[in-house]
Amino acid sequence: MNIAQYATCLQHIGIPTTDMDGSIRFYTGLGFEKIYETRNGASRVAFLELRQLVIEIWEGAPTGVSGSIDHIAIDVTDIEAVFQVITAAGLPAIEGKICELPFWERGVRYFTISGPNAEKLEFIQKL
């Protein structure tokens, strides 16, 4: 299993929060710039950037473990090919398929898998 030919960079790190405004204030106070905000159902979602580091914050209960990081997202150029490589290696997508969200200008397609330490790895392609 090797997706190196499709991966371009770290896309973002996902962090749930019960205080969206406080989280945005905290990160913008550190120098992050809010580059995108939207809704996913009833939940607010914000992306903040500091140079090439992007974090996604959304309204939701933290997992209750140290750090409360929900997922690490890897930007890919061909989500279909990556899905085939990953599932052929016996790593099932948590969602069971490639999903879509209307984020950014034209949307995104993604899927996630579980890592060996219960972390989630999200493979995402901006459309």
Tens place of pLDDT per residue across the chain (127 aa): 789 999 988 899 988 888 899 889 888 888 889 999 999 999 999 999 988 889 999 898 766 555 678 888 989 999 999 999 999 989 899 999 999 999 999 999 999 988 755 778 899 999 9
56-90 burial, b if ≥16 CB within 10 A, otherwise e?
bbbbbeeeeeeeebbbbbbbbeebeebbebbbeee
Q: What is the pTM (predicted TM-score) of this model?
A: 0.72
pLDDT at 18: 83
* pLDDT at residue 46 in the model: 96
Answer positive or negative: Cα dihedral of 126, 71, 55, 11.
Answer: negative
The predicted structure's pLDDT at residue 114: 82
Give the strand pairing for 53-59 and 7-17.
parallel
Instruction: Fill in the DSSP letter of residue 3.
Output: -
Host H or E run for residue 27: helix 20-29
CB 93 within 8 A of CB 86: yes
Q: Where are the domains of the chain?
A: 7-126
Q: Check: CB of residue 119 under 8 Å from CB of residue 73.
A: no
**Cβ atoms within 10 Å of 54's Cβ, excluding its own:** 20
pLDDT at 70: 80
pLDDT at position 66, please? 59
CATH of domain 7-126: 3.10.180.10
* pLDDT the model gives residue 37: 97
